[in-house]
Amino acid sequence: MNEMDSSIDEINRETKETIQKKLLLGVCKLIPKSNAKGTFWNCFEVVVFTETEQNTNYVSCIKCHKLMSYKLLQGSSHLSRHKCAVLTSEPSSSINQYFNKKQKTNLPQRVM
């Protein structure tokens, strides 16, 4: 087994608990996600190994510090549903944005 294979095996064996310990010890660090497209990424930082900046397959919420798994090929929809990301995401459009709040509209009470 070469050095590359052993470092890949090391990453695959990492658990949330070991990553948390490594963050406290400085073996791992948090960095912003580069080329992030979703607004929910403003709530997360990527956990990487300090010496190599190799990805650990975990991200950390910058608000509640919860570690969550993240692998590029598995997607990020679970991150967008995280409670802190949902609270900070842009509000979705609603019918209220189409009406002028200052102007009273004459809408029928019921439709025949």
Contacts for 33 with CB less than 8 Å, ≥ 6 apart = 41, 44, 45, 46, 59
Dihedral sign of CA atoms 65, 67, 70, 76 in order: negative
Q: Is pTM beyond 0.75 here?
A: no
Of 83, 33, 46, 48, whose CA–CA distance to 63 is shortest?
Answer: 83
User: Is residue 78 left, alpha or beta, with left meaning phi > 0 and alpha meaning psi from -120 to 50?
Assistant: alpha
Q: Strand (E) positions, the chain?
A: 28-32, 44-49, 55-61, 67-69
pLDDT of residue 96: 58
pLDDT by residue, tens only, the chain of 112 residues: 455 545 544 555 678 999 999 999 999 999 998 887 888 888 899 999 999 999 999 999 999 999 999 887 787 888 888 888 876 555 555 555 556 666 666 766 776 6
Give the separation between CA 13 and CA 22, rounded to whole angstroms.
13
